[in-house]
Amino acid sequence: MTKRILVAGSGFAGMWAAISAARAVAIAGREQDIEVTIVSPSANLTVRPRLYEAVLENMNPDIAPLLEAVDVRHVAGLVQTIDAGAHRIEVERVDGTRTRLPYDKFVLATGSRLFQPPVPGLPEYSFNVDQLASARALDAHLKSLADRPETVARNTVVVAGGGFTGIETAAEMPERLRAVLGSAAAVRVIVVEQASHIGPDLGPTPRPVIEEALAECGVETITGAAVAAISADGVVLSSGERIATNTVVWTAGARANPLAAQIEGEHDRFGRVVGDAFLRAGAVEDVFVTGDVVRAATDDLGNVTAMSCQHAMSLGRVAGHNAAAELVGLPLHPYSQPKYVTCLDLGPWGALFTEGWDRQVRLTRETGKAVKREINTQWIYPPAADRNAAFAIANPDHVIVP
């Protein structure tokens, strides 16, 4: 009887999980009786790490030919419920019909979404760069500012949150605004960060470089205050300060996709399932968790995965391989990713490339930017629709870092 590996999500983790599972099935010569299927809204991979960029081109590559080349099926829909006891999921297909799909192994790879706390005005008046549709909405809004009369609010962008995404979004913004409003416009871009420093999760080592770069890009920062209320023409900060603006970009962190809450067992404060060394969800049988929905140890030193593309791509390969390996009797592969780098885009200043969890500065300005360009245009993109080439880099040992 045919056995089924179901992967929910076609992002970085889901795509690599499916290819890696198909590779293990092929190694075992079991293509005839094991099917690998991805369920996601469409057979595309959204390149979320680039959604802060000014030009939103090639952000959603079609992976249907790749999936076909590696014998992975695709069902267009959203997983609604996971019934781990019955080994099946319920899916709402894009045409609105519902279907139940049984599985022998299930891989949850549905990613994360922007954390939106109950700040008054946040849903109605803020923009974000979390998903392609919202990044496009921000882009359309910025372009529409040119049709408005000149005011301080029109010329000002507030970026709420001074973490990785907030910094990258803000650094691009002065040039992006001037491209719309004209080079003579008195534009203001202000990052508001509630911690006492910009980039609180990036640690103290790279901070002077980030502060220098933001200042050079013409970005102001306000720290130690949070955006407390948002309206069509301004924000009020927790300090009581009011800033006139028609554009608020909300970037304050991410939470695991809500489906993670349906998996029994321990979760972390971001809603991620705590995975074991093989990325199994410890409390339920035959369920693997990967990408932004899993919290996993990256080494023996206490470091854990970040919600990052860098980790998602490796986590995906390992989870997909292990899901298939359990079915076909291949050895399981423990997840480990001791090398950690970051590459922070800092707009016209360049980019900051760091190594290690303490983020030692290795490359800055144009040399850093060259690495960022390579990451953003090559390394994170899907491989060509070539079975052998895809399988060659789908093994669970393969790590893409500079």
Ligand X SMILES: Cc1cc2nc3c(=O)[nH]c(=O)nc-3n(C[C@H](O)[C@H](O)[C@H](O)COP(=O)(O)OP(=O)(O)OC[C@H]3O[C@@H](n4cnc5c(N)ncnc54)[C@H](O)[C@@H]3O)c2cc1C
78 belongs to the binding site for ligand X (CB under 6 A): yes
275 belongs to the binding site for ligand X (CB under 6 A): no
166 belongs to the binding site for ligand X (CB under 6 A): no
Distance CA 181, CA 69 (A): 46
Using the minimum distance from each CB to ligand X, give the nearer residue, 48 or 154.
48
Least distance to ligand X from the beta carbon of 301, Å? 20
Least distance to ligand X from the beta carbon of 395, Å? 18
CB of 155 closer than 8 Å to CB of 186:
yes
391 belongs to the binding site for ligand X (CB under 6 A): no
Site string for ligand X, 183-212 (x = CB under 6 A): ------------------------------
Q: Which stretch binds ligand X (CB under 6 A): 9-17, 117-125, 220-228, 260-268?
A: 9-17
- What are the φ and ψ backbone dihedral angles of 311, each rounded to 5 degrees? -80, -40
Using the minimum distance from each CB to ligand X, give the nearer residue, 110 or 337.
110
271 belongs to the binding site for ligand X (CB under 6 A): no
165 belongs to the binding site for ligand X (CB under 6 A): yes
CB of 28 closer than 8 Å to CB of 42:
no
Q: Which stretch binds ligand X (CB under 6 A): 56-64, 296-304, 306-314, 321-329?
A: 306-314
17 belongs to the binding site for ligand X (CB under 6 A): no
Site string for ligand X, 35-64 (x = CB under 6 A): ----xxx------xx-xx------------
- Please identify the residue of the shown chain whose CB is closest to the bound ligand X: 11
Residues that bind ligand X (CB under 6 A): 8-14, 39-41, 48-49, 51-52, 78-79, 109-112, 129-130, 165, 257, 259, 291-292, 307-310, 312
